[in-house]
Amino acid sequence: MINHAIPTKVEIEVALTKGIQSGLVIICDGRYKLNEKHKLLFEKVYSKKGGLFSMTSNLYNELNSQKFEVINEVEVSISAKDYKSAIEDYLGSTK
């Protein structure tokens, strides 16, 4: 089994809040999705050398090189129950 760090509830809330505020993430049918408007940015990251293990740092570097304006003031809050359920689902999928 691959060892993965599981983001905390606060880390997920901050990441989704920033993603939605900048327009990178949208909410569609109650789910979070990457905005198709930024598809080229994500394709650029995925096509870089290094594969899976470099993807996080490549994405971080690419996002930091962009100027994203806040387009809305949404703040994401995840209930403790939903967070726990998501973690249990994730852990169940890794068996």
Residue 83 covered by a domain: yes
Residue 48 covered by a domain: no
Q: Which pLDDT does position 4 carry in this prediction?
A: 64
Confidence of residue 3 (pLDDT cuts 50, 70, 90): low
Mean local confidence (pLDDT), 65-94:
90
Parent domain of 73: 9-39+67-93
Residue 49 covered by a domain: no
Instruction: Report d(CA 15, CA 24) in Å as an integer.
Output: 11
**Look-up: residue for tokens 């989704």?**
16
51 touches 58 (CB < 8 A): no
73 touches 4 (CB < 8 A): no
User: Over the stretch 82-91, which tens digit does the pLDDT of each residue have?
Assistant: 999 999 998 8
Residue 61 covered by a domain: no
- Count up the domains in the chain and report the number: 1
Residue 60 has pLDDT above 90, yes or no: no
Phi, psi of 49 (to 5 degrees): -65, 155
Residue 57 covered by a domain: no
Q: Which pLDDT does position 14 carry in this prediction?
A: 94
Model confidence, pTM: 0.75
Determine what percent of the chain is predicted with pLDDT higher than 90.
43
Residue 53 covered by a domain: no
CA atoms within 13 A on the CB side of 67: 0
